[in-house]
Amino acid sequence: MKKHFKFYKLILASLALSFLFGIPSYASEPFESYSYNYWKLAVRQPYPYLYDKTFDEKDFETKLSFPDDMFYFSDSIFVADTGNSRVLKLDLNGKVLMEIDSAKNKSDKLNEPRGVYVTDEGNIYVADSKNARVVEYTKDGDFVREIGRPDTTLIADNVEYKPMKVVVDKDGRIYVIAYGINMGLVEFDRDGNFQGFMGAAEVNVNKFYYIWKNFLSTKEQQERMQTIVPTEYSNIFVDKENFVYATINGLTGDEINAEKDCIRRLNPTGTDVLRRLGPPIVGDLRFSQDGWSSFKDAAATDYGCYFVLDDANGKVFAYDYDGNSLFIFGRSGIKEGNTQKPVSLVINSDASKIYVLDGVLGNIVSYKITDYGKLVLNAIYLNDTGDSEGSNACWQEVLKRNSNCEMAYIGLGKTFLSEGDYKKAMEYFKLGNNRKYYSKAFYYYRKEVMEENFGKIMAVIIAVVLGLLAVKGYARIKKWVGEVKCTTLKH
Amino acid sequence: MHYFETLKYVFHVIFHPFDGFWDLKHEKKGSVPAALTFVVLTIITLAIEKQDTAFLFNKNKLSELNVLVDIITVALVFILWCVANWCTTSLMDGKGKMVEIVTAIGYAVFPIPLIRLPLVFLSHLVTMDEGAFIKVFGIVSLIWAGMLVFFATSVIHEYSIKKTVVTVLITILGMGILMFIGLLFFNVIEQMINFVLTIYKEIRFR
């Protein structure tokens, strides 16, 4: 009895202690974490990023009104505060460092700027949508120049020119997404002269729809139908290699199932060079509660991994250079750490933090990388730089945390392949469901086996051939003997 | 004729279809047990192919494979074809009897195990680039078997080519109808059983 009492006391004491110091409990994240595997199934995985915090008006000390774009440049965040017609520069605590609201002079106000971009030199480009111009500032916010409506007949005079997003590549070419212009990105040279359009989204029309629309439907029906036009891009991002990631927004389920592009990686001539070796890059592969994914913005690391923002479900999709699904996390909702209408996504220089701008609430939600996420990205980074040993070590660690990670198996398989351990490489490629590399490993493995057992194999082949010859010869001799016997009998 | 002899006769049939099927029907050179052997061989081949083709050429999700389903699917297609073909041809002045249809179809599907079984073995020895021929031969086996089925129908029922085409199309349609009726039948039976069960439960719980 006494012993029992003591035990009881111990529990009480420990409870009291735990209340005092707090049990290290893991708050459940306001979203799920998964990725798509080879079979196009969503597989849960450890969190690559965790909700960090939300920057709101308390941090900004001012209110954002329907902000539309964000850019990350050397530890500061630029926000196009569209509703308030200004561009803000924030530090990483959300404090406003600089505010730009006018162009040439004080009276020349910005009017609903929707895009912001900062070059490597720190020059700020703003897509001033209602004023039909792109404005350049120095890093201190002094006006440099403005690039107005492109001087061309390719855009009809009655069409409004409304720049939405702007980026500048390393060679100084300026790309602009303009509202209502579906011929692609508007391209200017470094001096602001119109160069042409780039990377027009192709139109691929459903054949049945085309026939139905043009031949079978009545005039009244035709008038109520949508005109078939190419989709416009929703946002653009320039990566280290001067390639432009362009996202396409608001595709229907039919279009996604027909494998229409949701994101492109355009080379400087405007050709899509995005590698699509994994499952389709369309966000969620199945219709989810809030509808199909709709890509709004993208950001890429220097080693080819890219993060895409889905504004329908508030999710962030991460893909590697080959288009394999790395991470999926985030969610739209009303919990802390959710977003309501995410519009823009930026990552910091080492992708350890992701910032998502909420267009309705005027918040910036930040996500912090976990050990798991760091390991995966690091493994890919090291592999990209050619350090296969370091990459190998990272993948080993990744597998300890997530044995479902096909990427890790493929990564390790590649290492074994280059080390010459073909059998092991085959095993790992099989686990990672990668037939291309499995075939490669198998080729060398087969060669190895053949070389080792060449003598035996040849011996077997010769034995078989000789055996067949012997059987045939025996039959012939028997026949000949029979014939001889017949002839002798006749005589 | 001896069972083994009838088995061996398949090699004549698949290379000389018109002559072969004629002999099956009139000279009784084939047998039903032999035909069923070939059907079972085909079923086994298709099941083995699904599971044991090398990883490089096997895009099936092995963890979700069900041999029973594979077996039943192929067997069902065979039975449905024979029944539907018999039904249509007896309405279209076909000369063939059920036994002859079963025998002929059994002999006609033989190219499938003949070609595909070695392919399963071969697939373990070749890389992806060299593997194109596996696909080609797989398709060849299907086309060969399909043509044999076509000729079999033509010879057994003593049809012209045009009439055979029509018969084949109607047979396929008939298979669909049979499936539909079967499903309907099962549905109704299930509902009836449910109905009786419900009444039984109601009475018991009272």
Among chain A, residues having any CB pair with chain B shorter than 8 Å are 39, 430, 435-436, 438-440, 442-443, 446
Average pLDDT over residues B155-182: 95
- Whether residue A439 and residue B61 make contact (CB cut-off 8 A), yes or no, is no
**Rounded Cα distance, B133 and A351, in Å:** 46
Averaged pLDDT score across all residues of chain A: 87
Does A18 score more than 70 pLDDT? Answer: no
What ipTM goes with this model? 0.81
Is residue A144 within 8 A of residue A150, CB to CB? The reply is: no
- Whether residue A39 and residue B128 make contact (CB cut-off 8 A), yes or no, is no
**A46-69 per-position pLDDT tens digit:** 999 999 999 998 898 899 999 999
**Distance of residue B127 Cα from the nearest chain A Cα, in angstroms:** 5
Domains present along chain A, CATH in parentheses: 34-369 (2.120.10.30), 390-452 (no CATH)
Q: How many CB atoms lie within 10 A of CB B16?
A: 12
**Distance of residue B110 Cα from the nearest chain A Cα, in angstroms:** 27
The Cα angle at residue B95 between residues B90 and B98, in degrees rounded to 5: 65
Q: Is B125 on the interface with A (CB under 8 A)?
A: yes
Burial status of residue A127 (CB atoms within 10 A of its CB: 0-12, 13-18, 19 or more):
buried
Closest residue in B to A436 (Cα–Cα): B128
Q: Which positions in chain A touch B129 (Cβ < 8 Å)?
A: 439
Is residue A116 within 8 A of residue A124, CB to CB? The reply is: yes
Percent of chain B with pLDDT over 70: 100
**Rounded Cα distance, A334 and A327, in Å:** 22
Is residue A299 within 8 A of residue A347, CB to CB? The reply is: yes
Average pLDDT over residues B88-113: 93
Averaged pLDDT score across all residues of chain B: 93
Q: Is B64 on the interface with A (CB under 8 A)?
A: no
Burial status of residue A369 (CB atoms within 10 A of its CB: 0-12, 13-18, 19 or more):
buried
**B116-163 per-position pLDDT tens digit:** 999 999 999 999 888 888 999 999 999 999 999 999 999 999 999 999
Q: Which positions in chain A touch B127 (Cβ < 8 Å)?
A: 439-440, 442-443, 446
Closest residue in B to A444 (Cα–Cα): B127
Write the DSSP symbol of residue A129.
Answer: G
- Whether residue B55 and residue A446 make contact (CB cut-off 8 A), yes or no, is no
Average pLDDT over residues A397-406: 92
Instruction: Give the count of Cβ contacts less than 8 A between chain A and B.
Output: 18
- Whether residue A446 and residue B125 make contact (CB cut-off 8 A), yes or no, is yes
Does A1 score more than 50 pLDDT? Answer: no
User: How large is the angle between the packed helices A435-452 and A454-490, nearest 10 degrees?
Assistant: 60
Those residues whose C-beta lies under 8 Å from the C-beta of residue A440, and which sit 6 or more positions away, are A417, B127
Query: Letter for the amino acid at B160?
Result: S
